[in-house]
Amino acid sequence: MSFTDRLSPYLRLMRLHQPVGIWLLLWPCWWSLTLASGGAPSLMLMACFGLGAILMRSAGCIINDMADREFDRQVERTRTRPLASGELTMMQASLLMAVLLGLSACIAYYLGMIVVLWAALSLIPVVIYPFMKRISWWPQLFLGLTFNWGALMGWAAVRGQVEWPAVALYIGGIFWTLGYDTIYAHQDKEDDAKIGVKSTALRLGQYTKQAVSAFYLLAVLCWAAAGWMAGCSTGYFVFLLLTQLHLAWQVCAVNLDISTSCRRIFVSNTTMGWLMLMACLSGFFI
């Protein structure tokens, strides 16, 4: 077996072949950095948070797969994952996770002790999230708590503390995640129903589009409050309107009964992230 073949299951375990998750984790960090720095974020900070997003998303995928390996074997989309298929052992996964968390801790230490504190607190929702689908119909809410933590960390890295604009940005991100991950969960709704896994896709059912519309509206309202509290100009709200239009398009375009449609709309949130970043940049110059 070649080195590439041996490396492949580790890369798949880290989901490096599916970078959309990295972007979804990174966007709240970059939005927060940009707002907190008055539209001129440090490139070094952006690079550090970019590397941190890669490492932490990879570690989070490993934690999730370790917890869900028995479920993953029963779901068509996930049965070939390295732990579910037996390509890798729990010990191998644990060692890789330890390395990733160690490297993440080094980045946090470089950014300062306030970031170290918030990074340590972020591990609580990271560890809790994989188990929520067993006991709650709202695991997507807990994913939102986890994936948007960077909004708090980014602000702390620039200002040395977490202030109200960061909190509004974070809450908006939670509603955003509730929306896009509910759409994502519709890919597995039939398998999830059979094996007893809970999700907002199953809970909301035929009312999913109405609920996601409400989640997205609340997200934009929270982000508008964040921009207002941060002292943003008209440019921010113009791009925020474009963000709202993109989210509205998602709801109208998605076919919740077709997995490829759910996946395509989910991935389009990378574009939405760029629109929101443009809002944060424009809010101090236009």
Note the pLDDT tens digit of each residue in 200-210: 999 999 999 99
- Given a cut of 80, whether residue 215 has pLDDT beyond it is yes
Report the pLDDT value the prediction gives residue 1, as an integer from 0 to 100. 62
pLDDT-based confidence at residue 123 (cuts at 50, 70, 90): confident
Which of residues 40 and 197 earns the better pLDDT score?
A: 40
3-state SS, residue 76: coil
Number of domains in the chain: 1
Separation CA 111–CA 156 (nearest Å):
10
**CATH number assigned to the domain comprising residue 132:** 1.10.357.140
- Given a cut of 70, whether residue 183 has pLDDT beyond it is yes
Note the pLDDT tens digit of each residue in 21-75: 999 999 999 999 999 999 999 999 999 999 999 999 999 889 888 888 887 788 7
- Given a cut of 70, whether residue 77 has pLDDT beyond it is yes
Q: The domain containing residue 222 runs over which residues? A: 3-282
pLDDT mean over 6-14: 84
